Each structure stands twice: as C-alpha cells, then as structure tokens.
Amino acid sequence: MALLVGAATGPAHFSASRPQSFSNVCRIEEEGELLGTTLWILPAVDGTRLLIQRYEGGALTPALLSTRVEDGKLVVYSDRNEPLYAVRRDGKGARITYLDGEQGSDGGNEERLPPVVKVGEFPDCK
C-alpha cells in the first residue's frame, strides 16, 4: 500500500486516497451538444486508474484504463503497449496530452481540464 501512495501522490501529484475529476466539457448553446473531455483519477488497490469520457456532440463510450507513473505524469497504454494519454497536474487542474493522434476540443494534442465543481453541469462553450 505504501508503494501505491508514493507512486500516486509523488511525481504525479494526484491523491491516492480519493477520486479526483477534471473536465473542460461545455455545451454548445445553439445545438445543446456537448464538447470536451472529462477524466477521473481513481485510486485502486493495484494502482491508479483513469476513467476518460470524450464528448463530441454527445457522450462517447467511456474507457477505464490502468496507468503508470513516468516522469511526473500518469501515462496510459493500450493493450498493445502503445501510449495513449499522459496526464499531469496543472495548478488545481490537470493537463492531458493525447499521444495516439486523438485531438482535444481545440484541435490540438493537449488540453487543460479544470477540476469538476458540480457533476453533470456544463458551462456554455465560448
């Protein structure tokens, strides 16, 4: 258990004792569609999990993934050991880097996700 705490709270600076959620999902006012990414950092007995849900007009299928701590980041790999995402703390929020060609809501390979204030409420897109 001490190894889990050290790995999860050490370089990556995510709490090992409670789930944390981050999201930049917003509502396109005219269409009522949702756009962005929500992720949850989830402690587990055998390591830290990342639950990610993308929104492209509506909610896409969420994925629950295992992570490794590398260079101060939580890194997610596919079943074929290909890197998918790297997540690091960014102030009070998190920054996710897409390593597999996916794009963030602005078309780039990286985006900042502020902490979730109230689950299920999404601000209007700017």
Whether 23 contacts 113, CB under 8 Å: yes
What distance, in Å, lies between the first and last C-alpha atoms of the chain?
43
In one letter, which amino acid is 37? T
Calculate ∠ Cα 13-16-21, nearest 5°.
75
Instruction: Specify burial of residue 14 (Cβ count, 10 A radius: 0-12, 13-18, 19+).
Output: buried
Question: Is the pLDDT at 4 greater than 60, yes or no?
Answer: no
Percent of the chain with pLDDT over 90: 48
* Nearest CA among 57, 69, 67, 74 for reference residue 125: 57
pLDDT of residue 25: 93
pLDDT-based confidence at residue 8 (cuts at 50, 70, 90): very low
